[in-house]
Structure 1
C-alpha cells in the first residue's frame, strides 16, 4: 500500500522540520527546497494525488490547485493566521479540513502595533530619514522641532477587536490611554470575547461604537485589525479619512486592502491626518521605490513583519506541521478553521 503524500511549500524551522522528517517512514513528503517562495508550476506539478498540503500565505489555494490535487486531498495546513489566500467555500464543498495558526502571533503583532503607533505619532520614519540623509546638522533646535501627538489621554479606535487588538490595548494602557472604542462585525455590540479581562476593568473606558464614521470621528489613533472581506475592502477610504482628526494617526496590522492606499496618500498630502504606520499595504510585496506612499515622510511602512520574532515563527512552523499531521490522521488540530 502506498504512503499518503504531502506537499510542503517551504523549508521549515528546525523543530518543525524534525517533526515532519520523523514521519518519512509513514508519509511521502514532497518539499520545496529553495529559500525563495514556492514556484506555482512546481506546486501544481506535485499536487496530484496529495493527501495533505502545508502552504504559506503566498500560496494561492484556489479551484485550480484543488482540482489539480484531486479527490485524495483531505487536509491543508496554512502557516498563517489569515485565510484570504484560500478559497474557503471550495474547501467546504470538498470536505477538506483547514488548519491555521491564529494564536501564535498575538504577542508579536501586538508589540508591532504599539511600535507603529509610536513611530507614526513621533515621526520616527521622518526623523531617521533626516539622520540617514545627513540633514541633522541643518536642523537647529526649536520648541516644536519634530513634535507630534502623544498617547496619554488619547482615544484609540479599533476596527476589529479580536485577540490581537485586545493584546495591543493591554500594552497601551500603561501609556495613559484614556478611552478605547471598537467596531466589530456586529456594529455597536460588545466583543464576543474578553481575552485579557480588559472590558470594564482596565481603568479606562472600553466600548463599542455603531459605525466606522463614529470611530473615525472619535479616535486619536485608528488601529486596523479586521479581516479582509467584501465589506471591509477599502473600509478606510477618502470618506473615512475626511472624518478623522487632523492630529490622528492610522495603523494597519491586518490586511492591506482594508485601507485605500490612494486615499491614504491623498490624506497625508493634504494633511487631513497626522501620520500612518503600516505593516501591510495593497499589492504587497510589489512596492517599488517610486511608489507614492514612500514619498510620504509621515508614513512608516515595514514589509509585513508582524509575526517576525524567532519564537513566533518557530511556534507557527511547529503548529502548522502538527495541524497537517492531525488532519491526515483524523485527529483534532491545534487550531482549525470552521468551514
Structure 2
C-alpha cells in the first residue's frame, strides 16, 4: 500500500503454483488479478484487465507491445517475465515509458546444460529413430545389422583420441555444458562469440587447466564449423544472430558432426538444416527450439528428418528450475513495486 492505503493492482498471466503464489498473496500491498485457466493467457483477457495495473507478470507467450502498454496506462511500473529471454517485450517502448523489466537469468543454466548434452547424445546415437522404432511396435521386425543404428561416439576412443566441442556463444550455459562434457574425454573446446568482444586468454587458459583440455580457444565461425565434432548453439537471439547457422556454415561442417540448438530457433535456418541432414552434410541435429514454434507440425521439414531430434522447448523444464524462475519473477515484481532492489533487472540504459 502507498501512504494513502491504496493497493497496487498486479496482473498475473499464469498461476505460478502454491509455493510462489503464496509469496504474492502474502503482500497486503498487492491486489492480484490472476488468469484463471491452466492454459496460455488469452490476449483479450489481458487487454481487459491490464488497465490501471502497477505491475504484470508475463510468460514468453505474452506479447508486451505498445498496444498493451497503452491499455495499461501510466500506472504501470514494472513488467516481470518468467523467462531468461525477453524478445516478447518491446524494450524500446518500456524504456521510453520509464518501466522496469525483470527477467530470470542464471537460474536455468544447469537445466539447459543438462538438456544440451542429452540432445547431443540423442542426435548422435540415433535416439529419435530408436525410440520411434519401439513406440511403433517395429522392434521385432527390425533387421539387425552390424552397423545398423550406429552413430558417431561422443566420447574419445583409442582409434579416435581427439574430440573437439564447439560453442556458438560462450556464456554461462555454454561453460556449464563444457563442464558436463569433460568426462567424455573431449580434448579441445572451440568457441565463437560476439565479434566485438576481445578474447579472454586468461579465462580460457584457466578453463583448459581446470578441465585438463589441450586448448580452449576463441576462433572465427568458419573454423568453428569446420573443426567441431559437436557444435552447440547457445547464443542470444535477435537481428545480429538471425540465421547465423545457415547453408554456408552447415556445408563446412564434418559429415559426422552434430548440431545442437538450445537457445533460440531464429539462430538456425530450418530449411538449410533440413537440406544438410537430407543430403548428409552433417550427421544429425538435436533441437530444443525451432523457428516459428510452436507451429511445428508433422509436415515441417525438420520433423521429416529421422536424424533430427526435436523436443518442445523444455530446456528449463525441471521442477527445481521452474520453481526458481517463478520465484524470481515474483521477487522482481515485488521489488520494483515496493522500491526494493530487483534480483534480476534488464538494463534498459542502452535502449533508445
**What is the deviation of 1:193?**
10
Alignment correspondent of 1:295: 304
Alignment correspondent of 1:76: 79
Q: Which of 170, 184, 207 is the matching residue for 1:161?
A: 170
**What is the deviation of 1:199?**
4.8
Alignment correspondent of 1:95: 98
Map 1:272-291; keep pairs closer than 5 Å: 272-291=281-300
Q: Which of 216, 239, 242 is the matching residue for 1:206?
A: 216
Alignment correspondent of 2:25: 21
**What is the deviation of 1:200?**
4.2
Alignment correspondent of 2:114: 111
Separation (CA, whole Å) in 2 of partners of 1:290 and 1:257:
19
Alignment correspondent of 1:331: 340
More displaced 10-residue stretch of structure 1: 287-296 or 307-316: 287-296
Tell me the secondary structure at the aligned position of residue 242 of structure 2. Answer: coil
Separation (CA, whole Å) in 2 of partners of 1:158 and 1:136:
36
Tell me the secondary structure at the aligned position of residue 292 of structure 1. Answer: coil
Alignment correspondent of 2:10: 6
Give me the TM-score of the superposition, normalised by structure 1.
0.95
Alignment correspondent of 1:239: 248
Separation (CA, whole Å) in 1 of partners of 2:138 and 2:307:
16
Does the Cα contact within 8 Å between 1:157 and 1:180 map onto a contact in 2? Answer: yes
Give me the TM-score of the superposition, normalised by structure 2.
0.92
Deviations 1:192-212 (A, max 9, x none): 9969x62543211211112x2
Distance 1:295 1:74, change over 3 A: same
Separation (CA, whole Å) in 1 of partners of 2:115 and 2:346:
25
Deviations 1:48-96 (A, max 9, x none): 1111111101111111111211211111111000111111122112121
Separation (CA, whole Å) in 1 of partners of 2:146 and 2:40:
49
Separation (CA, whole Å) in 2 of partners of 1:166 and 1:62:
34
1:219 aligns with 2:228: yes
1:313 aligns with 2:286: no
Does the Cα contact within 8 Å between 1:159 and 1:222 map onto a contact in 2? Answer: yes
Distance 1:218 1:187, change over 3 A: farther
Alignment correspondent of 1:251: 260
Does the Cα contact within 8 Å between 2:77 and 2:99 map onto a contact in 1? Answer: yes
Structure 1 stretches of 5 or more lacking a match?
Answer: none
Distance 1:74 1:188, change over 3 A: closer
1:148 aligns with 2:151: yes
Structure 2 stretches of 5 or more lacking a match?
Answer: 157-161
Q: Which of 7, 14, 34 is the matching residue for 1:31?
A: 34
**What is the deviation of 1:103?**
1.2
Q: Which of 185, 202, 205 is the matching residue for 2:194?
A: 185
Tell me the secondary structure at the aligned position of residue 140 of structure 2. Answer: helix
Does the Cα contact within 8 Å between 2:24 and 2:30 map onto a contact in 1? Answer: no
Deviations 1:300-335 (A, max 9, x none): 000000011111111111111011000111211111
Does the Cα contact within 8 Å between 1:190 and 1:208 map onto a contact in 2? Answer: yes
Distance 1:189 1:202, change over 3 A: farther
Does the Cα contact within 8 Å between 2:298 and 2:304 map onto a contact in 1? Answer: no
Alignment correspondent of 2:44: 41
Separation (CA, whole Å) in 2 of partners of 1:298 and 1:208:
29
Does the Cα contact within 8 Å between 1:278 and 1:302 map onto a contact in 2? Answer: yes
Separation (CA, whole Å) in 2 of partners of 1:217 and 1:67:
49
Tell me the secondary structure at the aligned position of residue 314 of structure 1. Answer: helix
**What is the deviation of 1:165?**
0.8
Separation (CA, whole Å) in 1 of partners of 2:31 and 2:274:
49
**TM-align CA RMSD:** 1.7
**What is the deviation of 1:188?**
7.5
